[in-house]
Amino acid sequence: MFMNQLNSDTNNRSLWIKVQCRDLVLGMFVIELDRPWKDTPFPINGFHLRKFDQIQSLRLLCNYVYIDPKRGAISGKKKVSELTILSSARERAPASMIIKVQNDAYPRTRSVKQEIDKAARLYGLLNTKINEAIVNAREHRKLGVKELYKLANEIIDSVIRNPDAFIWYLNTSEQGDCILNHSIRASIWATIFGCHIGLGRDDIEALFVGTVLADIGMAKYPPEFVSKSGPFSRKEYLAYRKHVGIGVDILGAEENIDNRIISIIRSHHERHDGLGFPRKLSGDEIPSLARIANLAYSYEQLLKRSSKGDQSPAAAISRLYKQRKLKFAEQLVFEFIKVLGMFPAGSVVELENGSVGIVTEQNPKQRLTPKIVVVTTSRKRFLKKFVVINENAKMDPDSNNGIIRSLKKGNYKIDPATLTPRIFGKRIGLGKLGLRI
Domain residue extents for the chain: 2-75, 112-340, 348-436
Whole-number average pLDDT of the chain: 85
Report residue 2's pLDDT band, with 50, 70 and 90 as the boundaries: very low
What average pLDDT does this structure show over 299-303?
89
* Least confident piece of the model among 47-51, 125-129, 255-259, 333-337: 47-51
Stated as kind and residue range, the H or E segment containing 181 is: helix 181-197
Query: Using an 8 Å Cβ cutoff, are 112 and 169 in contact?
Result: no
Report residue 271's pLDDT band, with 50, 70 and 90 as the boundaries: very high
Number of Cβ within 10 Å of residue 281's Cβ equals 20
* Backbone dihedral angles phi then psi of residue 393, each to the nearest 5 degrees: -90, 155
Write the pLDDT tens digit of every residue in 364-401: 776 667 899 999 999 999 999 999 987 554 444 445 46
* Least confident piece of the model among 124-138, 246-260, 285-299, 337-351: 337-351
* Vertex 301: Cα angle to 416 and 226 (nearest 5): 115
* Residues in contact with 427: Cβ distance below 8 Å, sequence separation at least 6, in sequence order: 117, 421, 434, 435, 436
Please report the pLDDT score of residue 3 as a whole number. Answer: 40
* Residues in contact with 212: Cβ distance below 8 Å, sequence separation at least 6, in sequence order: 126, 130, 148, 180, 183, 184, 186, 187
Helical segments of 309-428, H only: 313-322, 330-340, 416-424
For residue 74, give the nearest of 15, 139, 116 by alpha carbon: 15
* Least confident piece of the model among 139-143, 333-337, 356-360, 361-365: 361-365
As a whole number of Å, the CA-based R_g of the chain is 23
Query: Using an 8 Å Cβ cutoff, are 352 and 404 in contact?
Result: yes
Residue 39 predicted with pLDDT over 90: no
Please report the pLDDT score of residue 244 as a whole number. Answer: 97
Residue 136 predicted with pLDDT over 70: yes
Report residue 42's pLDDT band, with 50, 70 and 90 as the boundaries: confident
Could you tell me the CA-to-CA distances from 231 to 219, 228, 236, 240 in Å, in that order? 20, 8, 9, 12
Q: How far apart (Å, rounded) are the C-alpha atoms in residues 204 and 183?
A: 16
What average pLDDT does this structure show over 223-246?
89
Write the pLDDT tens digit of every residue in 62-97: 888 999 888 777 665 444 444 455 555 666 667 776
Fold classification of 112-340 is Hypothetical protein af1432 (1.10.3210)
With pLDDT > 70 as the criterion, what percentage of the chain qualifies? 85
Please report the pLDDT score of residue 431 as a whole number. Answer: 65
Could you tell me the CA-to-CA distances from 43 to 31, 36, 38, 177, 399 in Å, in that order? 10, 11, 9, 46, 11
Query: Using an 8 Å Cβ cutoff, are 216 and 180 in contact?
Result: yes
Write the pLDDT tens digit of every residue in 167-183: 999 999 887 778 899 99
Query: Using an 8 Å Cβ cutoff, are 93 and 284 in contact?
Result: no
